[in-house]
Amino acid sequence: MIHHLSIRELRDAILCKECSVTEVIQGFFDRIDQHEEKIGAFLSVDYESALAQAELLDRKLARGEAGDGLLTGIPLGIKDNIVTEGVKTTCGSRILENYIPPYDATVIRKLKKNGAIVVGKTNCDEFAMGSSTENSAYFTTQNPRDLERVPGGSSGGSAAAVAALEVPGALGSDTGGSIRQPAAFCGVVGLKPTYGRVSRYGLVAFASSLDQIGPLANNVGDVALLLRAIAGSDARDSTSVKRPVEDYLKDLGKDICGFKIGIPIEWFTSGLDPQIEQAVRRALKVLEGLGCSVQEIHLPHTEYAISTYYIIAPAEASSNLARYDGVKYGYRGSDDTNLEDMFRSTRSQAFGEEVKRRIMIGNYALSAGYHDAYFMKASKVRTLLKRDYLEAFKEVDFLVGPTTPSLPFKLGEKKTNPLEMYLMDVYTVTANLTGIPGLAMPCGFSQEGLPIGLQIQAPHFEEAKLLRFAYGLEAELSIQHPPLVLDR
Amino acid sequence: MKINTEEVEKIADLSRLNFTPEELLRFVDQFQKILTHCAQLEMLPTDDVEPTYHAFAEELTTPMREDRVGTSFSSEQALANAPDAAEEYFGVPTVIE
């Protein structure tokens, strides 16, 4: 059963000639054919191109070439807000329904250089705005752990595809929790790297000071491998940071004894589902057993994080989304009037409700008379949040807590209440506002069999240490995933 | 802060978005809820606090490089996704009568 293998196992099997790349790709396509109708993780799947690349790789491998890539022959899903040359990239929006990018994002170039094969583009909330993938203009994605529930969002398609074993790994993007929250909801591992660790060139911009691309996979080791392949500075993204990329696999398996863990007490409030709290506290006991010290810590401005985020992110979005005007690419509305009305009809017809709401909030927060009260105020509170974290990391190595306050909710349950949906992001937005890395990993299952995600946050650029720590915890927890409904 | 329909209409105009009267009413209501939640920030004293616009300003320098001629997209590539194009130009409705 090829689809049960990890990325590292698949790569080894390919390099040892236990199976061909074509067999691997075909194996995952069989899985997609079998289950995709129920899951709806992919907006598009490119069979022909993926199989052609697989054959080419097989021929190269037979000649003793192409074996040095980190991801030789590995099929991956890519969130549809990351541009892929010659392959339609919609961002889950009608406004880009026909957009075929003339170039690859830097992360795609790096993946291809390492021998990975992009098999399809995954569903997401429109322009990555949402926490359930229900804001996709195309269709909703079902959670493979419970088909009546949302997979989380906005990288819900990537998380669902990985959880359903349709691909062994995927890329998502995280602006306020969009990798970590769906990873938690689907029971997979997801990492938002430090801001600037991974190039954003070719990631369709939502909120430029918060957006970051990151990997999702079924285990910590595979996430480390994917990060190693995509990380690094890039001349095409001036916010990418010129620091050497570490070997994130090097320290995996080393003991994690002696690490100092902080539990932010502000994260364990009445809004937290008791089953989640229980599972997280159980994991903390396990960490103590491994020789880590656990102490309570304060992040005093936590209660202001959501407000801060939901001013700054829409403000940046309203500026970034001004480019969709029906001129250069994508949908165009009524053409028979004047230019100004063409802009209006294009945007009104082809943006979805949540995107319009955020453009409106953003423009309001930036408009004359309100700029100081909203945008400037939020930017100052962002400084206070950053100080909270700098103080905390003087005392501890990591912060550990829940990824989400609630278990995966039912499809349609929160769709009509935007504010309630925003509150889902309470534990994740701070990592984006402060730029630090955050990783979500399964730490148990609820009585109903729903996944529970633990979150680990680390200081800027400490991904190597973070992954070593998560790997150690994962091994000790050794969570037994119940069989997927698909496979029962 | 109380928000009214006229203000929402003004923002819609700035955003180049049209709304039906029903949509507008719904927006006013949702706007109010979201802004009421965000009003909690007013309570925080921030007079002596510098704003943060970038999580990482300390590490950020303007990257400089040599000014060299390189390859770029051709006109065909740049225009390939345009809803309307002619020769080397994007096509738009009449701008000046």
Interface confidence (ipTM) of the complex: 0.95
Strands (E), A150-306: 169-173, 189-192, 213-217, 260-264, 293-297
Calpha distance A43→A409 (Å, rounded): 22
pLDDT value, residue B56:
75
The enclosing H or E element of A245 equals none
Residues of chain A with Cβ-Cβ distance to B30 below 8 Å are 357, 418-419
The pLDDT tens digits of the residues spanning B48-95 come to: 999 999 887 776 777 788 999 989 999 999 999 999 999 899 999 988
Token pair of A306 as six digits: 């959501």
Distances (CA, A) of A283 to A156, A224, A407, A450, A477: 25, 21, 17, 17, 7
What are the two backbone dihedrals, phi and then psi, of residue A234, each rounded to the nearest 5 degrees?
A: -145, 125
Distances A85 to A121, A167, A393 between C-alpha atoms, Å: 12, 20, 41
Q: Which residues of B touch A98 (CB under 8 A)?
A: 81
Which pLDDT score, from 0 to 100, does residue B1 have? Answer: 65
Q: Is A268 on the interface with B (CB under 8 A)?
A: no
Spans of chain A, pLDDT less than 50: none
Helices (H), A40-92: 47-62
Residue with tokens 């691909």: A167
Q: Do A342 and B46 touch (CB under 8 A)?
A: no
Chosen from A200, A329, A436 to mutate, greatest number of chain B CBs within 10 A: A329
- Catalytic: which of A20, A131, A132, A178? A178
Provide the residue type at A390 as one letter. Answer: L
Those residues with Cβ within 8 angstroms of residue A24's Cβ, 6 or more apart along the chain or in another chain: A2, A10, A13, A14, A54, A73, A74, A75
Cβ neighbourhood burial of A270 (10 Å; 0-12, 13-18, 19+): exposed
Active-site pick, A154, A199, A240, A345: A154
Cβ separation of B59 and A326 shorter than 8 Å?
A: no
Interface A:B, Cβ pairs < 8 A: 162
- Structural contact between residues A93 and A56, judged by C-beta atoms closer than 8 angstroms: no
DSSP letter, residue A482:
P
Residues 6+ apart with CB under 8 A from A125: A92, A131, A132, A133, A134, A135, A136, A153, A154, A156, A178, A354
Does A351 contact B17 at a Cβ distance shorter than 8 Å? yes
Which residues in B lie closer than 8 A to residue A356 (C-beta atoms)? 15, 17
Q: Do A339 and B93 touch (CB under 8 A)?
A: yes
C-alpha dist (Å) from residue A25 to A22, A286, A392:
5, 38, 45
Strand order, beta sheet including A293-297:
A42-45, A117-122, A75-79, A169-173, A213-217, A189-192, A438-445, A451-457, A398-402, A260-264, A293-297
Task: Tell me if A161 sits within 8 A of A190, measured CB to CB.
Answer: no
User: Least CB-CB distance to B34: which of A301, A361, A382?
Assistant: A361
In this complex, the residue of A195, A310, A383 whose CB is nearest that of residue B56 is A195
Q: Whole-angstrom Cα distance, residue A434 to residue A428? A: 11
Question: Which positions in chain A touch B27 (Cβ < 8 Å)?
Answer: 357, 360
Residue from B93, B22, B50, B85 nearest A335 by CA:
B93
pTM of the model: 0.97
Which one is catalytic: A79, A121, A192, A414? A79
- Decide if A356 touches B, using CB distance below 8 A: yes
Q: Which of B19, B22, B38, B94 has the highest number of chain A CBs within 10 A, making it the mutation to test binding with A?
A: B38
Task: Please give the structure tokens belonging to residue A481.
Answer: 């995933």
